[in-house]
């Protein structure tokens, strides 16, 4: 099979001044209504805002200001866009003369795709660029989208990629599998904008948490946990080993996600009242497995502060705390005294 859709899409997109794929859908439906939700403030020491040097992205500053106090959020409906005919090639979707990347390498997609591909009918593309790019988003957002697709008459579809290290284990616990394709012509493709955190989206997230927590084969002691961050040059906690020793002496379990199976991770977090870690995707493990009422404490890099986990903890019935570390040139450090102060504040909250 030879597909000229990529070539046609590129040419037409130039002529149409780059219309987004959503704008050229054959039809659009609302699959879930909008809603509102309440949130509680971040637990933090009084001077945290003064310690922030920069936010990871501009919108993170607005999120931080909002989450410093309690309030309500308005969430948009979930929209689904349908295409009578579409081509999927190397993580790109081409339809009606437009295109969209669903991986982080859109430049590698060929002008014309040659070879034998699949011919599929009535599919839901149960993925997005962000869930294909970041493990944490795949756990919290990607699986929720697949759960939506599971209740539809169409078949869930993904783009070809290498699985995340912990992906097979999580798929077993939540009972979700996904067919992935590198090259396919699809007759009848739905693409869902599932970014809005409306009530039905939240309900799916909670269903995933229930399945993951119920799938634990054993429980550990219920001790608080400190997650080691292995790798990740952008967020190096330079005194991580010293903090691990400091917390271990105070009864914390010290855990490296890369060295654990999904069963081991769920067992460690299932009864943990508190989890401490540098802000990042590793915190999505406790978000999916901790008991309601527990607290996640994120150590924030002072030059990359983000509150993305706050939404996750609100959905999960958890509390969110954070503390901003000290800039140290090649990375950052957190003073033991400051760590104890925020832990004491969590205990009193």
H or E element that contains 156:
strand 155-159
Q: Is 122's pLDDT higher than 70?
A: yes
Q: What is the Cα–Cα distance from 220 to 243, expressed in whole angstroms?
A: 22
- Residue pLDDT, tens place only, 46-102: 999 999 999 998 778 999 999 999 999 999 999 999 999 999 999 999 999 999 999
Q: What is the DSSP letter of 109?
A: S
Nearest to 96 by CA among 186, 196, 36: 186
The mean of the pLDDT values for the chain is: 91
How many CB atoms are located within 10 Å of the residue 196 CB? 17
- Residue pLDDT, tens place only, 211-254: 999 987 777 778 999 999 986 556 799 999 999 999 999 999 99
Q: Is 108's pLDDT higher than 60?
A: no
Q: Is the dihedral of CA 57, 60, 65, 68 positive or negative?
A: negative
Nearest to 193 by CA among 201, 182, 185, 181: 201
Q: What is the pLDDT of residue 232?
A: 55
What does pTM read for this prediction?
Answer: 0.90
Residue 222 near residue 286 (C-beta atoms within 8 A): no
Q: What is the pLDDT of residue 283?
A: 97
Q: What is the Cα–Cα distance from 301 to 326, expressed in whole angstroms?
A: 8
Contacts of 14 (CB under 8 A, 6+ apart): none
Q: What is the pLDDT of residue 225?
A: 98
Q: What is the pLDDT of residue 116?
A: 66
- 255 has which bridge partners? 227
Angle of the 240-248 helix axis to the 336-348 helix axis, nearest 10: 50
User: Looking at per-residue confidence, does 11 or 252 come out higher?
Assistant: 252
Q: What is the Cα–Cα distance from 313 to 197, expressed in whole angstroms?
A: 13
How many CB atoms are located within 10 Å of the residue 191 CB? 24
Q: What is the pLDDT of residue 220?
A: 74
pLDDT band at 113 (very low <50, low <70, confident <90, very high): low
User: Looking at per-residue confidence, does 61 or 103 come out higher?
Assistant: 61
Domains belonging to the chain, first-starting first, are 5-31+77-212 (no CATH), 225-348 (3.40.50)
Q: Is 16's pLDDT higher than 80?
A: no
Q: What is the pLDDT of residue 231?
A: 64
Q: What is the Cα–Cα distance from 299 to 282, expressed in whole angstroms?
A: 12
Q: What is the DSSP letter of 249?
A: T
Q: What is the Cα–Cα distance from 126 to 194, expressed in whole angstroms?
A: 10
């Amino acid at each position: 099979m030879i597909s000229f859709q990529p070539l046609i899409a590129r040419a037409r997109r130039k002529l149409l001044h780059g219309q987004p794929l959503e704008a050229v859908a054959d039809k659009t439906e609302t699959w879930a209504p909008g809603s509102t939700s309440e949130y509680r403030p971040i637990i933090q020491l009084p001077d945290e805002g003064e310690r922030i040097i920069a936010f990871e992205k501009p919108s993170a500053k607005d999120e931080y200001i909002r989450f410093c106090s309690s309030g309500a959020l308005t969430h948009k409906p979930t929209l689904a866009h349908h295409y009578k005919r579409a081509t999927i090639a190397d993580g790109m979707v081409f339809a009606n003369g437009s295109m969209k990347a669903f991986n982080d390498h859109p430049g590698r997609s060929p002008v014309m795709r040659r070879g034998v591909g699949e011919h599929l009918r009535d599919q839901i593309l149960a993925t997005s660029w962000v869930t294909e790019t970041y493990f944490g988003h795949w756990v919290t957002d990607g699986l929720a989208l697949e759960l939506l697709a599971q209740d539809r008459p169409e078949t869930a579809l993904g783009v070809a990629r290498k699985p995340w290290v912990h992906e097979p284990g999580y798929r077993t616990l939540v009972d979700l599998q996904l067919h992935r394709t590198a090259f396919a012509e699809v007759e009848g493709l739905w693409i869902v904008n599932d970014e809005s955190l409306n009530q039905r989206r939240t309900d799916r997230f909670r269903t995933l948490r229930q399945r993951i927590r119920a799938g634990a084969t054993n429980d550990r002691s219920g001790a608080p946990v400190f997650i080691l961050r292995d790798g990740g040059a952008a967020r190096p906690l330079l005194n991580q080993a010293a903090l691990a020793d400091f917390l271990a002496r105070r009864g914390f379990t010290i855990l490296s996600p890369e060295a654990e199976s999904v069963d081991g991770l769920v067992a460690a977090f299932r009864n943990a009242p508190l989890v401490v870690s540098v802000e990042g995707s590793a915190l999505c493990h406790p978000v999916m497995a901790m008991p309601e009422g527990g607290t996640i404490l994120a150590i924030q890099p002072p030059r990359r502060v983000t509150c993305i986990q706050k939404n996750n903890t609100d959905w999960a019935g958890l509390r969110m705390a954070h503390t901003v570390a000290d800039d140290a040139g090649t990375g950052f450090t957190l003073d033991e005294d400051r760590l104890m102060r925020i832990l004491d504040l969590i205990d009193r909250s």
